Amino acid sequence: MYFSSMTFLWVFLPITLLFYLAASHFGKNTAGNIVLLFASLIFYAWGEPVYILLLLVSVLLNYIFGLLLGLEALKYRKSVLALGVAVNIGILGFFKYFNFFAIYINQALGREAVPLSHFALPLGISFYTFQAMSYVIDVYRREVNAQKNFFSLLLYISLFPQLVAGPIVKYKDVETQILKRVNTYEKRAYGVKRFIYGLGKKVLLSNIFGKYVDMILGIEPGQLSTGLAWMVMIMYTFQIYYDFSGYSDMAIGLGSMFGFEFRENFNYPYISKSIQEFWRRWHISLSTWFKEYVYIPLGGNRKGKLRTYGNLFIVFLLTGFWHGASLTFVFWGLFHGFFMIIERLGFGKLLEKNPVKLLNHVYAWVVFVCGWVFFRMDGLRKGFEMIKAMFIYQKGKHDVTSCLSLEVIAALLLGFLLCGILQTMVPKLKNALYNREETSVLQSLFLFAVFFLCIVSLSANSYNPFIYFRF
């Protein structure tokens, strides 16, 4: 069940809100949490009826690890932590990466020595596993207290706004909110505003880009003109941003409707002037997670330059691998890691001193557009073929003119303006979109129009994928 599906918008969300508000009125947060917990389990079971057992087992194991690590007299805390991390990685590894390694082992041996798994990838396993690990690690670090109530921990990990596609919410960020949050009219109003804003990004922009991207990339890269190759990858650059940031906006909005405050996950990454800045703005919850639980424990930048570069290499290798069991994702991660290291070696200082900042933006755009090539294409071979089509001029059988339409032109124009350019030029616009204060009549009319157009679009079109649901 997607946030942009009719079932969610007209059935699941209204019913959940109605029961939640009624329960909260009579029993405050405890009763409201019961409603949220049942709703979250139903939401997950809707798409993964079998794997809800896996989710429950994962939470139970991490609950036990948390209780053990919370004991003052426990002697072997490091061993328990190692076991907890190993179990979480093991669960994620089996369901997400088993076939990846099995295929390469079989190829190396020349026979099917390791039978392939036929288990489907559980929905949201990459996200909830990382949340569970952050909880166990933070209890070990004495940064949070072990949660004594199993159902409270289950609510934290299974909370439907962020369960299947993030943002990755650390337990320490919501520990007090689980039982002591205040659900006000202002929070709910802001939640509705933020949700509609995200829904608009997803339905009115990402879906349009995605439709054309899928159509064009159904053609072999060698048959695309250089101009069309660039255009389709720019369209995908916008598609993945408006898809994922739109989902994050909806998740933050839904959380606010139920009294939770989640941290921002995007901060206009496409206005970045370097790749270092890009990763401070893109998928913030994931980059923060890797920084806090991998990069810093490895030594960060405290062990000398060579160690720092090695740590960055590991982090971006894992970042790519986290996204999927494919060499294309690994290459994408290492591709970004390469430019992170290059910038740390001195290129970053040149960018800072460069008086023509437009060139910095162009550099950053070229890097992350080329990076998205490998993120999107099926296999490294096709990825390099697309890069070749982009950088070595070819006429191709299909050119830009064959795919241009008013819809494409309008989407590209809005995509450029709303990815941060317009908000930077007109700060009041950004404040109007993200402020938690009272919404004006004009804003209300605008939000109503966006919602109406979303409903019309969803009613008329069946194309409505979420890219990050497969991670």
Give CA separation, 186 vs 14, 199, 396, in Å.
18, 20, 55
Question: In this predicted model, which residue has the larger pLDDT, 219 or 468?
Answer: 219
CA gyration radius, the chain: 23
Grade residue 117 by pLDDT with cuts at 50, 70 and 90.
Answer: confident
- Give per-residue pLDDT as tens, 155-212: 999 999 988 777 999 999 998 899 888 888 889 999 999 999 999 999 999 999 999 9
The residue whose two tokens read 């960018």 is 351
Give CA separation, 271 vs 120, 183, 280, 367, 369, in Å.
37, 34, 12, 13, 13
Q: What are phi and psi of 398, to 5 degrees?
A: -125, 130
Can you give the pLDDT at residue 468? 66
CB atoms within 10 A of CB 25: 11
Select from 2, 266, 248 the least CA-distant residue to 123.
2
Grade residue 471 by pLDDT with cuts at 50, 70 and 90.
Answer: low
Residue 426, pLDDT above cutoff 80:
no
Average of per-residue pLDDT across 297-302: 88
Can you give the pLDDT at residue 141? 93
Give CA separation, 414 vs 126, 238, 302, 460, 462, in Å.
32, 10, 43, 21, 22
- Give per-residue pLDDT as tens, 226-268: 999 999 999 999 999 999 999 999 999 999 999 999 999 999 9
Grade residue 19 by pLDDT with cuts at 50, 70 and 90.
Answer: very high
H helix intervals, 270-353:
275-281, 284-290, 305-323, 327-342, 348-353
Can you give the pLDDT at residue 74? 79
Can you give the pLDDT at residue 297? 92
Can you give the pLDDT at residue 404? 83
Q: Tell me the C-alpha distance between 173 and 181, whole Å.
A: 12
Can you give the pLDDT at residue 279? 95
Mean pLDDT across the chain, nearest whole number?
Answer: 90
Whether the Cβ atoms of residue 316 and residue 340 lie closer than 8 Å to each other: yes
Whether the Cβ atoms of residue 156 and residue 171 lie closer than 8 Å to each other: yes
pTM (2 d.p.): 0.92
Question: In this predicted model, which residue has the larger pLDDT, 78 or 1?
Answer: 78
- Dihedral (CA of 204, 210, 216, 222) sign: positive
Grade residue 225 by pLDDT with cuts at 50, 70 and 90.
Answer: very high
Average of per-residue pLDDT across 442-457: 90
Whether the Cβ atoms of residue 464 and residue 207 lie closer than 8 Å to each other: yes
Can you give the pLDDT at residue 470? 60
Please give the structure tokens belonging to residue 262. Answer: 């989640």
Active site residues: 323
Task: Let me know the angle formed at the C-alpha of 251 by 248 and 257, rounded to the nearest 5 degrees.
Answer: 145
Share of the chain above pLDDT 70, in %: 97
Looking at residue 349, the DSSP 8-state letter turns out to be H
Select from 247, 240, 161, 166 the least CA-distant residue to 199.
247
- Give per-residue pLDDT as tens, 393-416: 988 888 888 888 888 899 999 999
- Dihedral (CA of 406, 408, 409, 413) sign: positive
Please give the structure tokens belonging to residue 341. Answer: 């290291």
